[in-house]
Structure 1
Amino acid sequence: MTAAPQTMRAAVYHGAHDVRITEVPRPERRPGEVLLRVLRSGMCGTDATEWKAGPLTFPVDRVHPVTGSTGPMIFGHEFIGEVVEVGTDSSFRTGAVVASGAGVWCGACDRCREGRTNLCRRYYTLGLNAPGGLAEYVSVPEITLVGVPDGLDLDAAGLAQPLAVGLHAARRSGARDGDRVVLIGAGAIGTFVLTGLRHLADVDTTVVDFPGHRLDRAARLGATRTLAVGDDLPARVEAAIGPGGADVVVEASGAPGQLDTAIRLVRDGGTILQVGLPAKRQEVDVHALVMREITVRTTLAHVCGEDLGPALRILADGPLAAELLDSVRPLGDLADQLQRLAEGRLEGKVLFDPQLQEASV
């Protein structure tokens, strides 16, 4: 029997524009955890922001109050892997393929007892606050894991965690059958929210973005209609869905001024869900919010027990992965892809296979 390797290759974040693919010690499995050989690992806008202007969230220059992590850190919070080592009381067997929700909760605090595990008072996320999955191996709390359905392609399964985030956002919107929903932003997160909305309710969905591939993709994935951004957008939305405004507006772009756009598009007494994170503080028309009794909600991460399993089933049954996946690459391509994402030049999702070796030059 071949001995398990004692080191591994990992993407280690040191600071802005400083990600190094290096050999590090393989993690040891701790009680309550499962050791995974990572099969696919993704990156998201948070990672790109850290690459461009961090450290902001990553505890590189401070000690994280829950995990104790500090200094250069392995990142990556969207990953699936093969189980290689478990404890005696584990519900998983070696060889099983699993997806991780990455967010870890205590299960005992008041927020956890409410079922809002994403707001746990001791919540932390692998790859954001502790070593993550952009590596050959990662040790993961078992509570974050869900088995990947038989027959689901690894590339599709690698999108489960961000789809769970979109599914949670769709739940937070409160959209119900028959509602008129406007979704601002058809990038990756907007696409995941659109998928979640279509999964949860029978809604009339208008997707807004710049003309091009994103809107074309939204139409293929079931948007009722798509509209290009522009000064006359409120008038065009009214012409499309009828007078009065949308029941729900989801702002998923994070672009400056779009929360105010959402206020103009929503009906009196309607709901706005803010998903996107603007880079700077935004001015908001509070007068309109109050006088029109508009509800503003937000959304954070996902609730693993509610969202990760359904996300995997959606990926198994639909065309989302084929529409959204850009490519699968070796770890050595990470810096270039982070730059692409940070500059807005990436339309879909890039996954990394830590087992792939970079092509020789």
Structure 2
Amino acid sequence: MQAAVYHGQHDVRVQEWPDPPAPAALEVQLEVLRASICGTDVDEFTSGPHLIPLTAPHPASGHVGPLVLGHEMVGRVVAVGARVTEFAAGDVVVPGSGVSCGTCRWCRSGRTNLCATYYTVGLHVDGGLAERVNVPARISRSVGNCPPDVAIMAQPLAVALHAVRGAGAERGARIAVIGLGGIGSLAVAACTARGIDTVGVDVSPARLEAAARSGATVLVNASRQDAAAAIRQATGGDGADIVIETSGTPRGLATAMNAVSRGGHIRLVGLHRDPSPLDLTRLVLDEIRISTSKVHICDQDLPEALALLADHPDIATAAVDSVIGLADIVPGGLARMAAGTAAGKVVIKP
């Protein structure tokens, strides 16, 4: 089969790759209908490997070496493992991205995203930027009435929902979202669906336009104005009650620190690779809370994402920049997203 295989920094090759084996007892094999590129994939492409185990086996998955990218996908079931009863050939499903054990203390408490042996499809084992992929049945959910072009946003929307829920976002809260890539734009959409107004911040006019389509009520171009000052102006001078930071940049974190209100909450979603000094004195004196958000909890966030998309398919429409073929993944996908010229998610049609 054809697959997009990660070999190292700036080295993703669309090449012939072995078909996945027959699914194990609790797995399903999917014919991939749609896949999409995540900011994490772009990060691995531009400056990695950070998460991909190229030179040493991953402690949970055991994989080592080049692998097929892709943890956001929709697929049609073509084969099921011997112990799978919830799906049959022909079903269309969305898998979650993370694989958890189900038995460790974090899994037993419902925090499967913190599993002691957690690993991610498309980062630690072969993923969905290919014609076929094997995934655990227990992290997969039926798309219901969502067509593939809508359901492809379910996994990244689940990530955004997890971030918004953990921030305690409620109607009436003053919320700023810094970084309006795929997850940031979907965080705006998640807030909009809850009736919550948002201030969207980015340096890309294209991403700002995408956030406007997702429902952002105030747009701030951080390349042209003081973003923190603009957020404070938009929130009556007090600052945002909640700042969701998805850019993963020191500048984004500095903006969050300067824009959050007294007693406010900063929710970190983007992965910060660079040292990011914090004004700990202000955090203490103003009782500012910082929390972090890691991917999603499959049982909670993925069904909610699918339900939200079923009711609001325009969320997917607003979030997608383009649909391309697998052969075009580097110039039309990874490179464009790395350059900041993609206005939203780039979807692959294998």
Match of 1:176 among 148, 170, 173: 170
Displacement of 1:235 = 4.0
CA contact (8 A) 1:55 1:61 kept: no
Query: Hey, what's the Cα distance between the residues in 2 that align with 1:214 and 1:24?
Result: 34
Query: Hey, what's the Cα distance between the residues in 2 that align with 1:48 and 1:38?
Result: 20
Q: Secondary structure of the residue that 1:48 maps to in structure 2? A: helix
Partner of 2:137: 142
Partner of 1:217: 210
Displacement of 1:285 = 1.1
CA contact (8 A) 2:242 2:265 kept: yes
Partner of 2:276: 282
Partner of 1:342: 338
Query: Hey, what's the Cα distance between the residues in 2 that align with 1:246 and 1:329?
Result: 37
Match of 1:262 among 247, 250, 256: 256
Partner of 1:105: 100
Listed as ranges, the gaps of 5+ residues in structure 2 are: none
CA contact (8 A) 1:167 1:195 kept: no
Partner of 2:8: 15
Larger radius of gyration: 1
The residue identity in structure 1 corresponding to 2:337 is L
Partner of 2:42: 48
Partner of 1:158: 152
Match of 2:68 among 65, 74, 78: 74
Partner of 1:59: 53
The residue identity in structure 1 corresponding to 2:30 is L
Displacement of 1:160 = 1.3
Displacement of 1:12 = 1.6
Displacement of 1:17 = 2.0
Query: Hey, what's the Cα distance between the residues in 2 that align with 1:237 and 1:76?
Result: 35
Does residue 293 of structure 1 match 2:287?
Answer: yes
CA contact (8 A) 2:262 2:288 kept: yes
Q: Secondary structure of the residue that 2:250 maps to in structure 1? A: coil
Query: Hey, what's the Cα distance between the residues in 1 that align with 2:234 and 2:129?
Result: 44
Does residue 351 of structure 1 match 2:344?
Answer: no
Query: Hey, what's the Cα distance between the residues in 2 that align with 1:243 and 1:350?
Result: 37
Q: Secondary structure of the residue that 2:278 maps to in structure 1? A: coil
Displacement of 1:61 = 0.9
Over the aligned positions, Cα root-mean-square deviation in angstroms equals 1.7
Displacement of 1:211 = 6.6
Cα deviation 1:283-302 (Å, max 9, x = unaligned):
22111111111100110110
Displacement of 1:66 = 0.8
Cα deviation 1:61-110 (Å, max 9, x = unaligned):
11011111011111111111000111344211110110011211111111
Does residue 85 of structure 1 match 2:79?
Answer: yes
Aligned length: 345
Query: Hey, what's the Cα distance between the residues in 2 that align with 1:75 and 1:187?
Result: 19
CA contact (8 A) 1:260 1:285 kept: no
Give me the TM-score of the superposition, normalised by structure 2: 0.93
Listed as ranges, the gaps of 5+ residues in structure 1 are: 1-7, 355-361
Partner of 1:190: 184
The residue identity in structure 1 corresponding to 2:156 is P
Query: Hey, what's the Cα distance between the residues in 1 that align with 2:2 and 2:228?
Result: 51
Displacement of 1:234 = 4.0
Displacement of 1:48 = 1.2
Q: Which region of structure 1 is more displaced relative to structure 2, 245-254 or 121-130?
A: 245-254
Give me the TM-score of the superposition, normalised by structure 1: 0.90
Displacement of 1:202 = 3.5
CA contact (8 A) 2:191 2:197 kept: no
Query: Hey, what's the Cα distance between the residues in 2 that align with 1:101 and 1:144?
Result: 5
The residue identity in structure 2 corresponding to 1:227 is V
CA contact (8 A) 2:192 2:214 kept: no
Does residue 313 of structure 1 match 2:307?
Answer: yes
Q: Which region of structure 1 is more displaced relative to structure 2, 111-120 or 153-162?
A: 153-162
Q: Secondary structure of the residue that 2:177 maps to in structure 1? A: strand
Identity, % of aligned positions = 46
Cα deviation 1:222-254 (Å, max 9, x = unaligned):
223223325544444333222422211111222
The residue identity in structure 2 corresponding to 1:244 is D
Cα deviation 1:108-143 (Å, max 9, x = unaligned):
111111111100011111101111111111111001
